[in-house]
A = this chain, B = another copy of it.
Amino acid sequence: MNCPIARSLERVGEWWSILILRDAFYGLTRFDEFQKSLNIAPNMLTRRLNGLVESGMLEKRQYSEKPPRYEYVLTERGRDFRPVILALLAWGNKHFAPEGESVMLADKETGQRVEPVLVDAATGRPIMDGGFETAPGPAADEKTRARFAQRDARHGR
């Protein structure tokens, strides 16, 4: 697939995997910690953790020889997934928290609540203001270009 969203989802497009990553951002590293937090069957957890290791999101490290014990630590690729988690957090808070926010993003120093918003890195302009759109990049294949051409045709461009 030529689509970066589809490629991303191939790695994490699954409920449990994203919740494991969420817990890794909370600082969990050990099998039993993930299991206790997620209340997930051990074989399912093993499969998901192995999947995240194979996709380069987590690194498996031995922390005890006798008995052999491993921990799972976020890689750079895994840490880079944090904006996706935080975008999900903001969306969930807006639409599925009628009783108020149970988890929020906060400034580490002041503890003040922070609203995460996506902006153009160069200008600071909010992406959701309507001035931006996805477009074919330099590596777009025929199918991708056709998809965008259809979109533009629908919009009368």
Contacts and interface: CB of A to CB of B under 8 A. Distances in A.
Interface of A: 2-11, 13-15, 18-19, 22, 25-27, 37, 56, 77, 80-97, 99-109, 111, 113-122, 124, 127-128, 130-141, 144, 147-148, 151, 154-155
A97 B134 contact: no
Instruction: Please tell me how many copies of the chain the complex holds.
Output: 2
A99 B91 CA distance: 32
B27 A102 contact: no
Contacts of A77: 95
A56 B19 CA distance: 22
Contacts of A147: 26, 37
A67 to B, nearest CB: 22
Given A87-B83, A97-B139, A137-B113, A4 B103 contact: yes
A87 to B, nearest CB: 4
Contacts of A136: 102-104
A89 B18 contact: no
A95 B97 CA distance: 32
B81 A91 contact: yes
Contact of A15 (B9, B100, B103, B151): B9
